[in-house]
Structure 1
Amino acid sequence: MLLIIGGSIWYALLPTRHKAIVKTEFLLRTGLVDNQWVVDNATQQYQMISPAFLIDGIYKSMEGPKASNYVQLSQDSTLLWITGFQVKALDSKTKKPISNDFICHTNVDFNDVNYFNNFHLQNRIGKQYPRMTSLSHGLEHFRFPKGYGVPMKGNDWLFVTTQSLNHNLPDANYLIKHEVTIEYHKADQRTKPLMSRTVFVQLPYDKNDPFKEPLDPASNQCVPVETKNHSYDDGNGNMLSGHWVIPSGKKTYRSSIDAQLQMKDSLRLHAAAIHVHPFATSITLFDKTTNQPIFTSKITNHKDKIGLSEIEPFSSEKGIWLYKTHQYDLVLETNNTTAIEQDMMGSMFLFFYDQELDDILKRP
């Protein structure tokens, strides 16, 4: 009885995100809900359906039940080209599509040690977080421009995590699933390889009193959602957050991405997948040197509820050059139309033509 009482108190004190983790783990381990990934790889699409997620209240971005699965596109080392990604929300029982408002994000990570060893690119290991891309609410499907893809050996591993969301239905009591699709095709001499670089808005905060408000309006500081996750040291002892709160009204946030780009030479950009939270209205890749935008992703919010209707991706067969000698920012515009603070992120998964890997793949 004491254990039950103590456990109940401990659970009640957890934040929503951690409650979702505990609840989901309990339901999956006990088998009270469908707890298996269902995989279909009969065509050149790797398609899988997640275990069931219980939506029993409001789950804001980054808070909902989630599950992860390891993926091999084939059982041998055949060279494959990944060309697109998609995620759908399904009713757990009927498997019919439901509102994508129940999709928070789907992350696709790779093992950088195995991946770069396979292509004799050991000098790239450990240089950045090995996330290939992410789909999220408002951008539930994404394809590379014609003639481009991310190459990988078929039996190399991907790690897929998909998380649920519910901004608007406090009395919800649903069991849902996510259907995740990875599109690919077999080796093609005409396909050109892409490499991914992840960039995101990072804002400084007071590490001694991170949640103090109001902030100095003349400063570039933010109030982080929390300091355990998405917090970074700038190398000089100052703390930065990639997940912060925004006040009511319109705001502009800007941060340098030069360190994240890690440009050793000029690169040609062909695609970009965008991740933002509700109340973002646009995000721009900005060339500080020329004082001109590279491109702007327009973001459409729902009109009658919280959520994102569409995030505009970037895709170009021709490509746009980014130069080593230039400096670049991400510029995020937001409009919080509610009377309370909301959480925010602003990220881009940028895909550049990989000349070095192309030369390796063309060797006899």
Structure 2
Amino acid sequence: MIRGSRLIWLRAALACAMAFTLGCERDPTAVKAAAPSTQATDAAPSGPKPRIVQFGTETLPIDRIYHSMQGPFDRVYLDASELDWVTAARTDVVEQASQKRMGDEFFCHSQLQLPNGTRLLTMATGADDLRFPKGFAMPVSAIVEGQPEPLRGLTFLGMVLNNHEAEINKQTKVVTTLEYFKDSDFGNKPRPKKLYMTSLLMEVENLEEYKPGKDEPPISDDVTTHCALVEQPLGGKLKLHWMVPPGLQKTRKLDRNLIPIDGTVHFAWAHLHNYGVYMRLTDVTTGKVLFQADVENEPDRDQIANISQYSSEKGFRLYKDHVYEIEALYNNTTDHDVDAMAMMVLYYNPDRDVSIKYTGKQ
């Protein structure tokens, strides 16, 4: 990529510094349609077959090292009218010349996002394939239609990453495949149970040492050290993007008012950077650990291969008046600082058949 293009990406990176929170776009007037849907052939004969739709970014060059949240990205504007019940999503980084899938190390994140910044479906390193339990789905079209009229819409954003290969020159695309049903596919049969999203973000700001509150469980094994925020391109810092010095680092954060109505979580996943060990969710009110996402690394290098997910038809309970805690552990085995994030996304079925409203704070 020529030097002028690099400057474009640097400017874009600043605008995208809050991509997980606010989103970013390269050309808001370039509306691109998703590919036509097809029907899957591997569904159970007794039920409707899921429809499949695929969409991708414009060409994204990978020609040097791009750390987290600094790579090229693109936004696609989607027609959400058919996405009545989304059941699965997968994202791949594809080399344009060969159309072959590239390694996960080149995938930063992708997201289906409302205009107000809410990320309905997010995929990231270690969690590029999401599949809800049987009988559950996200009512995407209804969520979009439930927004105020000026804010109705759905976009797809994809960003690439490159932490390892300094000598590279690849033209790529970020491609996402959705499995979904139209409401009419079910005829007079029962519809899936609705899943809604809520997220928990670890935020640190010059945290020297973690000191738990009186209502938190004991942390005698705590190893929290200095958390310096990551400098973003062209200035600025993010509370959710920090540096880990060599050694162990544990961070914890309390969350209240996590959901507007009691419900049951049926799917959950977490996002960590390389050298992450786990991310844990605890109900502080009851003292019960609800979910822990563990990192599996590649055998021959420091690269995340997989982060465990939670998927259950039975699920675990969430309560609107309970206090929750997220905890992240990093083990930096290098001799230099490394960047870190910790995010957990929960998909829950509310106790009552209500339409959850998203305000852009999720």
Q: Normalization by structure 1: what TM-score?
A: 0.74
Could you say what secondary structure the match of 1:86 adopts?
Answer: strand
Q: 1:45 Cα shift?
A: 1.5
Q: Given the superposition, is the C-alpha separation of residues 355 and 163 from structure 1 closer, same or farther in structure 2, using an over 3 Å criterion?
A: same
Could you say what secondary structure the match of 2:230 adopts?
Answer: coil
1:224 is the counterpart of 2:229: yes
- 8 Å CA contact 1:103–1:163 kept in 2: the answer is yes
- 8 Å CA contact 1:252–1:332 kept in 2: the answer is yes
- 8 Å CA contact 1:58–1:167 kept in 2: the answer is yes
- 8 Å CA contact 1:135–1:273 kept in 2: the answer is no
- 8 Å CA contact 1:145–1:317 kept in 2: the answer is yes
Q: Given the superposition, is the C-alpha separation of residues 182 and 229 from structure 1 closer, same or farther in structure 2, using an over 3 Å criterion?
A: farther
Q: 1:195 Cα shift?
A: 1.1
C-alpha RMSD of matched pairs (Å): 3.3
Q: 1:220 Cα shift?
A: 7.3
Residue of structure 2 in register with 1:70 after alignment: 77
AA at the equivalent of 1:57: R
Q: 1:101 Cα shift?
A: 1.6
Deviations 1:21-46 (A, max 9, x none): 9xxxxxx99xxxxx977724233112
Could you say what secondary structure the match of 2:105 adopts?
Answer: helix
Residue of structure 2 in register with 1:54 after alignment: 61
Which consecutive residues of structure 2, in runs of 5 or more, have no partner in the other structure? 18-25, 40-50, 146-152, 212-223, 357-362
Residue of structure 2 in register with 1:255 after alignment: 253
Moved more, 222-231 or 307-316: 222-231
Q: 2:108 aligns with which of 104, 108, 121?
A: 104
Identity among equivalent pairs (%): 26
From the two aligned structures, give the one with the greater helix fraction.
1
Residue of structure 2 in register with 1:93 after alignment: 97
Could you say what secondary structure the match of 1:153 adopts?
Answer: helix
1:82 is the counterpart of 2:98: no
Residue of structure 2 in register with 1:140 after alignment: 128
Moved more, 155-164 or 341-350: 155-164
Residue of structure 2 in register with 1:120 after alignment: none
* Partners of 1:230 and 1:268 in 2: CA distance: 35
* Partners of 2:16 and 2:63 in 1: CA distance: 10
- 8 Å CA contact 1:131–1:198 kept in 2: the answer is no
Asked which structure has the greater CA Rg, the reply is 1
Residue of structure 1 in register with 2:46 after alignment: none
* Partners of 1:216 and 1:359 in 2: CA distance: 41
* Partners of 1:319 and 1:142 in 2: CA distance: 16
Q: Given the superposition, is the C-alpha separation of residues 83 and 348 from structure 1 closer, same or farther in structure 2, using an over 3 Å criterion?
A: same
Q: 1:190 Cα shift?
A: 3.3
AA at the equivalent of 1:243: H
Count of residues in correspondence between the two structures? 304
Deviations 1:302-355 (A, max 9, x none): 343342100111111111112334311011111112111111111111111034
- 8 Å CA contact 1:150–1:193 kept in 2: the answer is yes
1:295 is the counterpart of 2:291: yes
* Partners of 2:101 and 2:313 in 1: CA distance: 32
- 8 Å CA contact 2:251–2:328 kept in 1: the answer is yes
Deviations 1:70-105 (A, max 9, x none): 11144xxx6710111101121111212221221110
Q: Given the superposition, is the C-alpha separation of residues 308 and 314 from structure 1 closer, same or farther in structure 2, using an over 3 Å criterion?
A: same
Q: Given the superposition, is the C-alpha separation of residues 149 and 357 from structure 1 closer, same or farther in structure 2, using an over 3 Å criterion?
A: same
Q: Given the superposition, is the C-alpha separation of residues 284 and 229 from structure 1 closer, same or farther in structure 2, using an over 3 Å criterion?
A: farther
Which consecutive residues of structure 1, in runs of 5 or more, have no partner in the other structure? 1-6, 22-27, 30-34, 113-128, 207-214, 232-240
- Mapping for residues 245-324 of structure 1, pairs under 5 Å: 245-259=243-257, 261=258, 263-324=259-320
- 8 Å CA contact 1:82–1:185 kept in 2: the answer is yes
* Partners of 1:81 and 1:11 in 2: CA distance: 40
Residue of structure 1 in register with 2:205 after alignment: 204
AA at the equivalent of 2:328: L
Residue of structure 2 in register with 1:119 after alignment: none
* Partners of 2:165 and 2:210 in 1: CA distance: 34
Residue of structure 2 in register with 1:332 after alignment: 328
Q: Given the superposition, is the C-alpha separation of residues 276 and 269 from structure 1 closer, same or farther in structure 2, using an over 3 Å criterion?
A: same
Could you say what secondary structure the match of 2:64 adopts?
Answer: coil
* Partners of 2:204 and 2:209 in 1: CA distance: 14
- Mapping for residues 29-40 of structure 1, pairs under 5 Å: 39-40=35-36
- 8 Å CA contact 2:107–2:159 kept in 1: the answer is yes
Could you say what secondary structure the match of 1:205 adopts?
Answer: coil
- 8 Å CA contact 2:104–2:305 kept in 1: the answer is no
Q: Given the superposition, is the C-alpha separation of residues 165 and 306 from structure 1 closer, same or farther in structure 2, using an over 3 Å criterion?
A: farther
- 8 Å CA contact 2:84–2:139 kept in 1: the answer is yes
